[in-house]
Chains A and B, each alone.
Chain A
């Protein structure tokens, strides 16, 4: 059996899944000030009376690192960067202990300027003196040649506890994002490590020695052990959990939209043949642009508890949430109150909801019922507009080959899946107001926890070969070998897939769950003078986000039970 746990803003959802479907589901209140206790309570409650030997793993999605970043509660870390020619590295200054060094590598990974060892040693000593124990080291083009980062790391190692090197966090080109990503890894590392070690220890003490896995923003998982070197990958896993929870119910060979209507926000994502669309480079969070793999999601400030009001005679919904719905004792009318007024939802105190709408009905020149209908429809329209905007964004993604530009089909989903909110009520109205076929995700109240439990381990490998220089390398994987003149695109693909398998298994994947695919596969003839001097090959492969194989039976059961 598998446990899925998703820490939300107000409560934490936990499910226990077995061959027979959902064995147990619970909600515990989230204590933002003590997430450790929240997680522990959830895990204890769900395992009460269950033989621990039957539980194969627990997958956790927490807001721990996200909160630390958003609330700017990051401990100080050191940063060392070497940029060489180009944009002034001062523009990427991050934190108080940021040092830009001499030394440069070019776009093909060749050294232009060597490092200055004495300069690095001086900084290392200063870090030690100031008590800086975690350091990010990032060089421009280190994903082509990590040599400088490794050298700096080596010089630093006697002086600090842990070094996070840029080339290890992603194979993508983007020096400023590599700096931000390494910074975040170094910053959240102590928080992340302490938290999960404590969770593990406490569970063990209670006789629950189950492997812990952690959900990432790309909708995949990794083992706690693997997460230690890349703790920032755990940020923003919340939206991913819901999307993964919807996947089992999405059509196999069609595009669909997943809508998670919450109290404060509505989050949306797009699935193509049950595979979520990813951000091209990585997450934006709290002013940081990163290389952290992530689902492409759009979040708008419209939800069940959004503040509904008139401003200059115009109806405004959100983006603030001032409290729960009036029917539940809240201060201002909300879309949830509208549903209660309309009799679409039976909960709370309908009289209080109606009172809120009386104040709106007058100025709108409508009856209370009409005003409620108007608010409900506007809420739906705002959501539909945002869906359109997100699709437009995905479809205007630049491409760089003639083939892609001519053959690239625009994404036009016809199906929408709703989670959260009062999903069935929204689904019906969204369908009436649009041309989408709108469905409800079964068990929508705990779909997020189910998603976390069933998510597959994901990862990505970036490999390049440059036969003029005679190298094939995947620096992120610590791989660099000689490539002969006849090293081909097929050889490169084979090597990349080998590295991908190894990486996935290291991160806790099951051999049966390696759904791999080629993301990028380019080959260039390198011509110098008038002769072909080599091949430049660029490969990117991934284990795509999706559900582990057990999902077939479990999801089948879930789909029919509602």
Chain B
């Protein structure tokens, strides 16, 4: 009989009755064959692997992370409450010591959902990892967290949420944004002025294979993690780097995903994308579960796997090494850069347009952050969507200093109510969320 080396929790929620639309990649059928494979392999019977039933997240957990415009009900479906709840259930099981590690095999995914949510982008409405992380911070006092996003698409939503947070290390390795949605995640995206360096992007050339992914994990991600010393390592475990994925161009494999998991040793993994539902997902997920539990996965491989055929070129290997080197250089300079950046004081601004491809919505944001040497800074986002609403969102970070907290409250109190559909204050120091509707 097999016994897990690491006691591992699993939330499996395939949402067999939920789809974005009938023929959408994010449809009922997506985890059907994964369930078949996981059940047939008998993984849930293995001593030390335990399945948990997901709880629903309450609205408060969502509002700790997002500004939902106009409200939570308009941007979430029932299934989102469960997938975020599944991630949270696993997070709690790990923190409570019921298991050593956990994997939330849930859908719909979340890593493209940003702090302000006016609709769905990249099949995501709310960021399930961030909702879990902020809950664990609130309930268990966790401080330093690393999120490693191994989905093929840049985790732009998670990056946005933690852009200004020096206590959250966000690392995303993904197919180069010049060749794939969402078109971001370049090496020079390093984080906001108060958190320069804790955002790490590793864009990889198309057709990167096992060799490249494992090289980056071992020689770039792992050393950065070791230096950052997070209390929790979370893996946004997207599976669309697979060589058979229909919407991407990478050459990763089930064996590779299992090995990556063994190297990364995440405390918690959360499923993100992955749309080769028959030829990849069943095998990749079995590989990840076995690797999480510290069990043998040497015989896990997809039926049409041919490592020679998918092997990356020498040119690709060379480019990956260069990207790795650049990433490590940026990392080495982060403290110096960050200190210099935080000396400037005052306010920093940026404006940008965010396209919600799933809902076909264009949002424009004017963002203001207070540069602060003592905390993550008060953040204000003025958000307008072309077919949506106009909202002013004020975020006071978890460990805000008194000055930044006051700035946040001042922004909120003095906002011209008539100008907005909603004025919202998210005060993480008090764990509260206040929303003022138009005219109220």
Contacts and interface: CB of A to CB of B under 8 A. Distances in A.
Interface of A: 85-88, 91, 104, 106-108, 112, 140-141, 172-177, 287, 289, 396-403, 405-406, 522, 524-527, 529-532, 536
Contacts of A176: 41-42, 45
B45 A401 contact: no
Contacts of B22: 525, 527, 532
Given A88-B296, A396-B53, A524-B32, A174 B42 contact: yes
Contacts of B290: 87
B17 A112 contact: no
A400 B14 contact: yes
B90 to A, nearest CB: 13
7 contacts: A177-B45, A398-B53, A400-B13, A401-B15, A402-B79, A527-B29, A529-B246
B82 A402 contact: yes
A401 B17 contact: yes
Interface string B275-289: 000100011001000
B57 to A, nearest CB: 12
Interface string B88-117: 000000000000000000000000000000
B302 interface: yes
A175 B298 contact: no
A141 B33 CA distance: 12
A524 B299 contact: no
B303 A87 contact: no
Interface string B287-310: 000100001101111110000000
Contact of A88 (B37, B40, B52, B299): B299
Nearest to A113: B303
A2 to B, nearest CB: 38
B16 A522 contact: yes
Interface in B33-89: 33, 35-37, 39-43, 45, 51-54, 56, 78-79, 82
A390 B29 CA distance: 33
Given A87-B290, A88-B296, A175 B16 contact: no
B12 interface: yes
Contact of A86 (B33, B51, B299): B299
A38 B201 CA distance: 75
Interface string B1-19: 1100000000111111110
A524 B29 contact: yes
B286 A107 contact: no
B296 A141 contact: no
Residues of B in contact with A, size category: 35 or more
A423 to B, nearest CB: 35
Nearest to B282: A107
A398 B300 CA distance: 26
Contacts of B12: 398, 400
A87 B2 CA distance: 10
Contacts of A174: 39-40, 42, 45
A398 B37 contact: no
B27 A525 contact: yes
Contact of B278 (A85, A108, A140, A406): A108
B430 interface: no
Contact of B23 (A85, A177, A287, A532): A532
Contacts of A88: 296, 298-299
B283 A526 contact: no
A522 B18 CA distance: 13
A172 B295 CA distance: 24
B382 interface: no
B421 interface: no
B321 interface: no
Contact of A141 (B1, B32, B40, B298): B40
B189 interface: no
Contacts of B282: 107
A525 B23 CA distance: 8
B28 interface: yes
A451 B56 CA distance: 41
Contacts of B27: 525, 527
Interface in B258-288: 278, 282-283, 286
Contacts of A87: 2, 41-43, 286, 290, 295-296, 299-300
Nearest to A94: B1
A405 B32 contact: no
Contacts of A107: 33, 36-37, 40, 278, 282
A532 B283 CA distance: 24
B40 A175 contact: yes
Contacts of A527: 22-23, 27, 29
Contacts of B33: 107-108
B227 to A, nearest CB: 36
Nearest to A398: B53
A406 B78 contact: yes
Contact of A399 (B40, B53, B283, B286): B53
Contacts of A531: 23
A530 B21 CA distance: 11
Nearest to B43: A87
Contact of B28 (A177, A287, A525): A525
A173 B82 CA distance: 25
Contacts of B29: 524-527, 536
B18 A402 contact: yes
Contacts of B42: 87, 174-177, 289
B322 to A, nearest CB: 35
Nearest to A531: B23
Given A106-B303, A401-B15, A402-B18, A86 B298 contact: no
Given A174-B39, A175-B41, A536-B32, A397 B16 contact: no
Contact of A85 (B2, B79, B295, B299): B299
Contacts of B78: 402, 405-406
B35 A140 contact: no
A553 B33 CA distance: 49
Nearest to B283: A85
